């Protein structure tokens, strides 16, 4: 089974670029399942029902989220109702819309998708990500398990990768929007990349106009974020997973302009 995981889609520019490239990419690589991080798919940040539907209509099969999940209250009902969207599982489950794990029937195999958020430098008060991972794995309905770990530091992502090695099919990191060069299969058979990257405007700071971020860092004054415009790229990782064992065979990072 070939599973394509796409990095954080930023704003309408990222959504439109994904739509223009994804169908051909799926055909070329024989992709069976497309997972995409959509937490920044709405202009400004966050996700809306409209931006989520746009991504689904573009060929995405399942959406993962992150620390901007709850920026738009209009999406809360969708998080509860849509069976193909996951938010970080280590939010307080009884009080938080949505779910942290889903089991997707691809028609060929069931694939379990888990979303986790890191504890270092993202948000306070979340369940420990490693303990949450253990709890989520007990709920998995398939040997084929994919994890989106939405985290700030490379050290926490690397540690989680090795913690899950041999227990999940693949783990891809999101949140920092810069693709790392370490797509690999870990020793016990888990596909891994520290950060899959971003889908959005190339000449930007994480999808935002460069001058806004520079000015904010220089002056320490608040700035209203505006999405950048211009040439885009889509960054992703392609995992090939053995159907029977659930082990990853290959992991390949992709960058499409």
pLDDT in tens, 58-76: 999 999 999 998 989 999 9
pLDDT at 64: 98
The more confident residue out of 92 and 253 is 253
CA distance 206 to 99: 27
Ranking 87-91, 130-134, 210-214, 235-239 by mean pLDDT, the lowest is 210-214
Sign of the CA dihedral running 136, 137, 139, 141: positive
Tell whether 57 is in a known binding site: no
- Which overall architecture, per CATH, does domain 2-256 show? 4-Layer Sandwich (3.60)
Ranking 74-83, 119-128, 130-139, 141-150 by mean pLDDT, the lowest is 119-128
Quick one: the chain helix, strand, coil %, rounded to 5? 25, 30, 45
pLDDT in tens, 164-202: 999 999 999 999 999 999 999 999 999 999 999 999 999
CA distance 70 to 13: 21
Q: Where are the domains of the chain?
A: 2-256
Tell whether 8 is in a known binding site: yes
Tell whether 90 is in a known binding site: no
Report yes or no: 39 and 10 within 8 Å, Cβ to Cβ: no
CA distance 170 to 172: 7
Residue 230 has pLDDT above 90, yes or no: yes
68 is catalytic: yes
Return the SS3 of 161: helix
Tell whether 203 is in a known binding site: no
Report yes or no: 234 and 255 within 8 Å, Cβ to Cβ: yes
Q: Is 2 exposed, middle or buried (0-12, 13-18, 19+ CB in 10 A)?
A: middle
Quote the pTM value: 0.94
DSSP per-residue letters across 178-228: ---S--EE-TTS-EEES---EEEESSSBTTB-HHHHHHHHHH-------B-
In the set 25, 48, 68, 129, the catalytic residue is 68
């Amino acid at each position: 089974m070939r599973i394509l995981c796409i990095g954080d889609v930023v704003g309408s520019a990222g959504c439109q670029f994904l739509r223009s490239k994804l169908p051909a990419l799926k055909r070329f690589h024989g992709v069976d399942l497309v997972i995409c991080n959509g937490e920044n798919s709405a202009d400004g940040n966050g996700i809306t029902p409209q931006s989520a539907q746009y991504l689904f209509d573009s060929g995405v099969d399942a959406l993962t989220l992150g620390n901007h999940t709850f920026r738009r209250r209009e999406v809360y009902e969708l998080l509860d109702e849509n069976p193909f969207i996951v938010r970080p599982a280590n939010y307080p489950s009884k009080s938080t819309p949505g779910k942290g794990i889903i089991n997707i029937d691809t028609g060929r195999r069931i694939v379990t998708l888990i979303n986790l958020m890191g504890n270092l430098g993202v948000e306070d008060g979340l369940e420990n990500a490693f303990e949450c991972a253990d709890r989520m794995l007990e709920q998995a309905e398939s040997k084929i398990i994919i994890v989106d770990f939405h985290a700030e530091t490379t050290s926490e992502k690397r540690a989680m990768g090795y913690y899950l090695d041999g227990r999940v099919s693949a783990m891809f990191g999101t949140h920092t929007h810069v693709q790392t060069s370490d797509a690999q299969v870990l020793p016990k058979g888990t596909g891994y990349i520290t950060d899959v990257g971003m889908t959005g405007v190339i000449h930007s700071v994480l999808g935002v106009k460069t001058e806004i971020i520079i000015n904010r860092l220089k002056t320490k004054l608040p700035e209203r974020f505006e999405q950048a415009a211009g040439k885009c790229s889509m960054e992703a990782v392609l995992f090939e997973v053995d159907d029977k064992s659930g082990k990853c065979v290959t992991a390949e990072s992709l960058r499409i302009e």
